[in-house]
Amino acid sequence: MRSIVFILSIFFCFQSSLFASGAFKSVETKIIEADKKGALVENNPYVPVGSSGIVIRKFDDEHQTVIAKAIVESKSKEGIRIKFAMFDLLKQDALPAPNIMPEKGDTVILNYLYDRAFVIVPNEETFLEITSKYPEIDWIHPDILAAFLSKEYNPEPDREDFQNACKKNLSMLLFFVVKNSGYFVDCNSFKVLKNESVDKKEGKTILPFYSRIGDIESNIFNIAKSKIDNYDNYYIKLLEIK
């Protein structure tokens, strides 16, 4: 248990300097009431339904640790309802899980790790437009995800592929450009947090998204995956955009 507290406390302290920046303001609050299904925290206009974060237990003045993942399920006049999930961002098979249930008084940080994001766009022209439009975000180049997909012979990334990429790169935010809209998506819930009009630039569409890796091939051992025919249609379906 002491090893888990030590490792996660180092992680928390390292990341805390990042909370103030990004497209969404991070929010720190306390659990008002909790049960086995989730908890209630105070309302906040900066927290959309679908956003995620972490629950922190403070043991004493020097020791604190992340004990769970938090995902916003709903908002009402009573407050923000969150559900809990296992915190797996720093999964370590050699150590046991903390197995501590969140309770009243624990700290919750929402919009967590939202200052780093993957950008998913159809072409280089749009990539340059978006990354320059939001300079406050530390953009993770799509080459990183494309290289992994290429190694796995996977030309059709799904929800789990994007979520795994987020975990490996300490980011909980994705930005998809679909048609003439941009969609901020939480990696944990895979829910659209915010959408806005963007200037989608003309250029050669690269599938499954813009990268400098080149064409991603499939193989006979991955027959469930096929090449995407239409960029916009694929991501409309993946993100369940209406």
Give the CATH number of the domain where residue 19 resides. 2.40.30.20
Q: With beta carbons less than 8 A apart as the criterion, state whether 196 and 202 touch.
A: no
pLDDT at residue 143 above 80? yes
Provide the mean pLDDT of the chain.
86
* CA pair distance 81, 223, nearest whole angstrom: 41
Residues 106 and 126 in one domain: no
Q: What is the pTM of this model?
A: 0.85
136 or 97: whose pLDDT is higher? Answer: 136
Residues 29 and 135 in one domain: no
Residues 172 and 230 in one domain: yes
Q: Are strands 173-178 and 138-140 parallel, antiparallel or unpaired?
A: unpaired
Residues 121 and 90 in one domain: no
Domain extent, residue 101, equals 2-110
The total number of structural domains that make up the chain: 2
List Cα–Cα distances, 81 to 25, 34, 56, 58, 112, in angstroms.
19, 10, 17, 22, 16
Give the CATH number of the domain where residue 150 resides. 3.40.50
Q: How many CB atoms within 10 Å of residue 94? A: 5
Residues 155 and 231 in one domain: yes
Residues 48 and 65 in one domain: yes
Residues 211 and 227 in one domain: yes
Q: What is the mean pLDDT of residues 117-136?
A: 95
Q: What is the pLDDT of residues 12-59, one digit of tens each?
A: 443 433 333 445 889 999 999 999 889 999 999 999 999 999 999 988
Residues 132 and 228 in one domain: yes
Residue-level pLDDT at 20: 37
214 in the Ramachandran plot: left (φ > 0), alpha (ψ -120 to 50) or beta? left
Q: What is the pLDDT of residues 156-213, one digit of tens each?
A: 999 999 999 999 999 999 999 999 999 999 999 999 999 999 988 999 999 999 999 9
Q: With beta carbons less than 8 A apart as the criterion, state whether 211 and 143 touch.
A: yes
What HEC string does the chain produce? CHHHHHHHHHHHHHHHHHCCCCCCCCEEEEEEEECCCEEEECCCCCCCCCCEEEEEEECCCCCEEEEEEEEEEEEECCEEEEEEECCCCCCCCCCCCCCCCCCCCCEEEECCCCCEEEEECCCHHHHHHHHHHCCCCEEECCHHHHHHHHHCCCCCCCHHHHHHHHHHCCCCEEEEEECCEEEEEECCCCCEEEEEECCCCCCCCCCCCCCCCCCCCCCHHHCCCCCCCCHHHHHHHHCCCC
Residue-level pLDDT at 219: 76
Residue-level pLDDT at 100: 84
Residue-level pLDDT at 11: 46
Residues 64 and 123 in one domain: no
Residue-level pLDDT at 221: 66
Q: Please identify, among 110, 130, 165, the residue that sits at the C-terminal boundary of a domain.
A: 110
Residues 177 and 202 in one domain: yes
Q: What is the mean pLDDT of residues 219-228?
A: 72
Q: Please identify, among 95, 110, 125, the residue that sits at the C-terminal boundary of a domain.
A: 110
Residue-level pLDDT at 94: 43
pLDDT at residue 2 above 70? no
